[in-house]
Amino acid sequence: MTSDVADKSGRVRTGDGVTTPSPVRPRRRGIGWAQRLEIAALSGPAILVFVGFVIFPVLMAGYYGFYRWKGFGVPTDFVGLDNYKTILTDNSFHEAVWHNGQIVVLSLVLQGPIAIALALLLNKKMRGQSVIRVLIFVPYVIAEVIVGTAWALMLQTNGAVNDVLRSIGLGGLAQDWLANPKLAIWTLMFILTWKYIGFAVILFLAGMQNIPEELSEAAAVDGASFWQTQWHVTLPLLGPTIRIWGFLSIIGALQLFDLVYIIWGQYVASTAGTSTMATYMVLEGRNAANYGYGNAVAVVLFIISMTIALVYQRFVLRRDTEGALTGGR
Amino acid sequence: MAAVVALGAMSLAACGGGDDDGGSESGGNVTMQFWHNATTGPGKAFWDKTVADFQTANPNVKIKIQQVQNEDLDGKLQTALNSGSAPDIFLQRGGGKMAAMVEAGQLKDITNDITAETKAAVGAALGTGQVDGKSYAVPVSILPGGFWYSKDLFKKAGVAAPPTTLEELSAAVTKLKANGTPIALGAKDAWPAAHWYYFFALRACNQASLDAAAKDKNFGDPCWTKAGNDLKAFADTKPFNDGFLTTSAQQGAGSSAGLVANYKASMELMGAWDPGVIASLTKDTKPLPDLGFFPFPAVPGGQGDPAAIMGGADGYSCSAQAPKECADFLNYIVTKDVQEGYYKAFNSLPISKEAQGAVTEDYLKAVLDAYNKAPYVSQWLDTIYGQNVGNALNIGVVNLLAGKGDVAGIIQGVNDAAKKG
């Protein structure tokens, strides 16, 4: 995905006035065996790893998904589409999909504006800028396990957050932040935002840095205020970056697993209303030892993510990718 | 020592038989892989010594030990079994998972290799290692469940004797509330919460209904509903720690075992591994000095025998391709001396009746007393009924305690789960 971002910013850097030269295809010439060997030697290992650790497992998941399988020995009990029928009728799966949907929407709605606002502020020259950038970015660098464990401890009913509230006389606000089904999804969103906002800010800052300064200078000459400049110049030119961030955010939200698994555990996640398709998959596959069923869930999760990714590419990213994908040569 | 020599002679005899179902050659040398989960401390030392002693008595056998961290063990074992490079001897937790291994032809049938001495020492508990009447594992330790409590906190609250009926337990809970949390529960891990349902079911259902449910996975008997109602009524008296739904069972001072270890809660319903877990979580990581044990109390109106007990048994299995000497090793680890060493290393009840005389701790004696008085011992229900039903039980009980689901939800979930397996 990073390469896409680079492509995008590359295009932005050329500005609107520069037209991409129409690609002139060189006459196709056969390549010598030395070159073939070089290509094979350089790309071979990567292709092998990709096939072995990405393509093969996906195919195997599709295969296991047709079996009732306890995970020991070779699957023999072929059940066709039964697993998929069960998924479609399982309430816990529907709940998980609903939670994933909430997380996708809330991530976009909460994190986007906050990240853009922070990036706008940090894009101005000011004292201690790099310190603030580091502070915002640090949570993104910390491993999910540590973030999850730390927040889980702080947010327990007898944890630090409630203790602080009580000690400053706001004991009435102390809550069961994790187990209360009305609160839990917001607790999760808070932690997710805290964790991932740094990534969005860095992305937007990079995008803003690629916007030519002349444009805002020109706007200033025309008498635009700071906010008018941002609204009419910076934001539109930030579009490609925002759309790519949206893509990453949606895919991340659909596949969310680790934070929920660590903070809520698999069982309480569903009662608290924070279970996701991925935690459902692990719960049904690994914990219940219904490996065939779990693989079918993995396939469904794959199809959902893939569909959304393709739709997003087709309709949202189209104008950004047109040049990058077709005029690449 | 005599037993060791006898065993040595026996295994030689076995080799002389020219049996070719394993990797052993007649009179040749045999190397076996052995996986257990004691990665540090006295447990690791115990296995090192046991293996060394066995090798001394059987010079033709070489056993390579590999310690696998407990949480990693199941996954690694499964991979090894499926890839055909399984260890010859490995820790076996039994139940549905063992049945799945048997079904996949991955375990060695050791029915005819179990010696008369082993049968005498282990007794009826051999059944925990059997599937359809054939033996696939030899148990080494019994781990029954019940209440682990602080005698000091009970005394302080004016609870004179451990409760023997549900009424007395409720009365004790009321008194204990004055001094903090009466009962610690780590429901984040779900199974500790599910244990509550299992024990109420053990009291509500008679042995026949328990067995029938294990067989046809149908939980329609009204006793299952009674168990849920009993649990609900008890949970409504709010005996558990605040935030028990997001409390884990065994990790850190904030866990349910940690609450007991630090006198923040008076008792916990848990299996017989709990003293060790509690000990590791006290401030000085020493055993809790005033730890006591009492069995799950009698419940009015239940069909189950009030003295019946529930618990698991850890054992060891041989993989299908293991040489014959593997079974000799399993016979060896339930001999008296080894079992006494096991008890000392793991602070856990040995399966061998001969070795049980060595037990000195009050609480372990109390467990042993309850165990020996029990008319029957049920395995943990999630173990007998298999992982998928066990998983559904876990979910149902957590939902019930969280106020999200009801008793009918447990039964429905369990019945649905059978479809996915």
Q: What is the pLDDT of residue A256?
A: 93
Of A72, A283, A290, the CB nearest to B81: A72
Minimal Cα–Cα distance from B369 to chain A, Å? Answer: 34
Q: What is the pLDDT of residue B421?
A: 62
pLDDT level of residue B193 (50, 70, 90 thresholds): very high
B73 has a pLDDT exceeding 90: no
Minimal Cα–Cα distance from B171 to chain A, Å? Answer: 26
Q: Which residues does chain B have within 8 Å of residue A289's beta carbon, measured at their own beta carbons?
A: 96-97, 100, 386-388, 391, 421
Q: Which residues does chain A have within 8 Å of residue B188's beta carbon, measured at their own beta carbons?
A: 264-265, 267-268
**How far apart (Å, rounded) are the C-alpha atoms in residues A24 and A40?**
26
Phi-psi region of B372 (alpha: psi -120 to 50; beta: other; left: phi over 0): alpha
Asked if B189 is an interface residue toward chain A (Cβ–Cβ < 8 A), one would say yes
**How far apart (Å, rounded) are the C-alpha atoms in residues B69 and A298?**
27
In which residue are the tokens 């990405």 written? A54
**Percentage of chain A exceeding pLDDT 90:** 40
**Would the CB atoms of A157 and B243 count as touching at under 8 Å?**
yes
Token pair, residue A285, equals 């596959």
Q: Which residues does chain B have within 8 Å of residue A73's beta carbon, measured at their own beta carbons?
A: 81-82, 103-106
Q: What is the pLDDT of residue A322?
A: 65
Q: What is the pLDDT of residue B317?
A: 94
Token pair, residue A148, equals 């999850």
Question: Around Cβ A101, how many Cβ atoms within 10 Å?
Answer: 12
Positive/negative CA dihedral, A55, A61, A66, A70: positive
Mean pLDDT for the stretch of residues A4-18: 41
Lowest mean pLDDT among A214-218, A281-285, B144-148: A214-218
Minimal Cα–Cα distance from B387 to chain A, Å? Answer: 5
Q: Which residues does chain B have within 8 Å of residue A291's beta carbon, measured at their own beta carbons?
A: none
β-strand pairing of B89-92 with B134-135:
unpaired
ipTM for this model: 0.74
Minimal Cα–Cα distance from B5 to chain A, Å? Answer: 37
Tens-place pLDDT, residues A56-97: 999 999 999 999 888 888 888 888 888 899 899 888 899 999
Q: Which residues does chain A have within 8 Å of residue B386's beta carbon, measured at their own beta carbons?
A: 289
**Would the CB atoms of A73 and B103 count as touching at under 8 Å?**
yes
Q: Which residues does chain B have within 8 Å of residue A156's beta carbon, measured at their own beta carbons?
A: 243, 246-247, 254
B1 has a pLDDT exceeding 70: no
**Percentage of chain B exceeding pLDDT 90:** 52
Of A72, A86, A153, the CB nearest to B254: A153
Asked if B414 is an interface residue toward chain A (Cβ–Cβ < 8 A), one would say no
| Alpha helices in B17-142, H assignment, sequence order | 41-57, 70-82, 95-103, 116-122
Strand partners for B33: B64
B289 has a pLDDT exceeding 50: yes
- The pLDDT mean for chain B works out to 87
A10 has a pLDDT exceeding 50: no
Report CA B175 to chain centroid distance, whole Å: 31
In degrees rounded to 5, what are phi and psi of residue B141?
A: -150, 140
Of B242, B417, B420, the CB nearest to A158: B242
User: Do A245 and A314 touch, CB atoms closer than 8 A?
Assistant: no
3-state helix, strand, coil in chain B (%, to 5): 50, 15, 30
Q: What is the pLDDT of residue A106?
A: 94
| Alpha helices in A65-172, H assignment, sequence order | 82-89, 91-106, 112-123, 129-141, 144-155, 160-167
A45 has a pLDDT exceeding 70: yes
Closest CA to A190 of A254, A127, A118, A263: A263
User: Do B393 and B200 touch, CB atoms closer than 8 A?
Assistant: no
CA distances from A221 to A15, A217, A225 (A): 20, 6, 10
A3 has a pLDDT exceeding 60: no
Q: What is the pLDDT of residue A324?
A: 54
User: Do B331 and B54 touch, CB atoms closer than 8 A?
Assistant: no
Would you tell me which residues 76-95 of chain B have a C-beta closer than 8 angstroms to some C-beta of chain A? 78, 81-82
A321 has a pLDDT exceeding 70: no
CA-nearest residue to B390 within chain A is: A288
**Would the CB atoms of B420 and A288 count as touching at under 8 Å?**
yes
CA-nearest residue to A290 within chain B is: B421
Of A156, A158, A271, the CB nearest to B404: A271
Which residue type sits at B247? T
Of B82, B100, B187, the CB nearest to A268: B187
CA distances from B320 to A165, B18, B138, B215, B329 (A): 60, 18, 15, 26, 15
Q: What is the pLDDT of residue A14?
A: 39
A contact set with B (CB within 8 A): 68, 70-74, 83, 86, 92, 152-153, 156-158, 176, 178-179, 181, 263-268, 270-272, 283-284, 287-290, 293
Token pair, residue B288, equals 């809790």
pLDDT level of residue A99 (50, 70, 90 thresholds): very high
In which residue are the tokens 């020219």 written? B18
Token pair, residue B209, equals 């209904």
Of A72, A152, A272, the CB nearest to B104: A72
- The pLDDT mean for chain A works out to 84
A170 has a pLDDT exceeding 90: no
CA–CA–CA angle B402, B408, B410 (5° rounding): 60
Q: Taking CB atoms and an 8 Å cut-off, how many pairs form between chains A and B?
A: 113
**Would the CB atoms of A70 and B243 count as touching at under 8 Å?**
no
Mean pLDDT for the stretch of residues B177-194: 91
CA distances from B360 to A170, B356, B363, B364 (A): 51, 9, 9, 7
Of A329 and B56, the structure prediction assigns the larger pLDDT to B56
End-to-end CA distance of chain A: 19
Token pair, residue A226, equals 């700071």
A182 has a pLDDT exceeding 50: yes
Lowest mean pLDDT among A121-135, A279-293, B46-60, B312-326: A121-135
B47 has a pLDDT exceeding 90: yes
In degrees rounded to 5, what are phi and psi of residue B162?
A: -60, 135
Q: Which range is most confident: A177-181, B168-172, B206-210, B378-382?
A: B168-172
A266 has a pLDDT exceeding 80: no
**Would the CB atoms of A283 and B187 count as touching at under 8 Å?**
no
CA-nearest residue to A293 within chain B is: B420
**Would the CB atoms of B188 and A287 count as touching at under 8 Å?**
no
CB-based burial label for A150 (10 Å; 0-12, 13-18, 19+): middle
A15 has a pLDDT exceeding 60: no
CA distances from A251 to A15, A33, A50 (A): 29, 41, 20
Q: Which residues does chain A have within 8 Å of residue B187's beta carbon, measured at their own beta carbons?
A: 267-268
Q: What is the pLDDT of residue A7?
A: 43
Of A263, A268, A290, the CB nearest to B420: A290
In degrees rounded to 5, what are phi and psi of residue A244?
A: -70, -40
B71 has a pLDDT exceeding 80: no
**How far apart (Å, rounded) are the C-alpha atoms in residues A275 and A149?**
17
Q: What is the pLDDT of residue A29?
A: 62
Q: Which residues does chain A have within 8 Å of residue B387's beta carbon, measured at their own beta carbons?
A: 287-290
Minimal Cα–Cα distance from B388 to chain A, Å? Answer: 4
> Is pTM beyond 0.90 here?
no
Query: SS3 for B398?
Result: helix
Minimal Cα–Cα distance from A295 to chain B, Å? Answer: 12
Minimal Cα–Cα distance from B256 to chain A, Å? Answer: 13
Q: What is the pLDDT of residue A28?
A: 57
Phi-psi region of B268 (alpha: psi -120 to 50; beta: other; left: phi over 0): beta
**How far apart (Å, rounded) are the C-alpha atoms in residues B176 and B181?**
7
Which residue type sits at B358? A
**How far apart (Å, rounded) are the C-alpha atoms in residues B391 and A289?**
9
**How far apart (Å, rounded) are the C-alpha atoms in residues B337 and A319?**
77
User: Do A316 and A88 touch, CB atoms closer than 8 A?
Assistant: no
Of A73, A86, A270, the CB nearest to B420: A86
CB-based burial label for B31 (10 Å; 0-12, 13-18, 19+): middle
Asked if B387 is an interface residue toward chain A (Cβ–Cβ < 8 A), one would say yes
pLDDT level of residue A22 (50, 70, 90 thresholds): low
Task: Give, for A210, the enclosing helix (H) or strand (E).
Answer: none
Of B184 and A217, the structure prediction assigns the larger pLDDT to B184
Q: Which residues does chain B have within 8 Å of residue A154's beta carbon, measured at their own beta carbons?
A: none
User: Do B290 and B150 touch, CB atoms closer than 8 A?
Assistant: yes
β-strand pairing of A77-78 with B61-67:
unpaired
User: Do B89 and B81 touch, CB atoms closer than 8 A?
Assistant: no
B415 has a pLDDT exceeding 50: yes
B373 has a pLDDT exceeding 50: yes
Strand partners for B319: B107
Lowest mean pLDDT among B22-26, B146-150, B317-321, B337-341: B22-26
Tens-place pLDDT, residues A191-244: 999 999 999 999 999 998 888 888 888 888 888 888 888 888 888 888 889 999
pLDDT level of residue A27 (50, 70, 90 thresholds): low
B54 has a pLDDT exceeding 90: yes
Q: Which of A267, A284, A286, A287 has the highest number of chain B CBs within 10 A, making it the mutation to test binding with B?
A: A267
Tens-place pLDDT, residues B87-132: 999 999 888 788 889 988 999 999 999 999 999 888 878 888 888 8
Lowest mean pLDDT among A10-14, A244-248, B399-403: A10-14
Mean pLDDT for the stretch of residues B225-239: 95
CA-nearest residue to A273 within chain B is: B404
Tens-place pLDDT, residues A287-305: 888 899 999 999 999 999 9
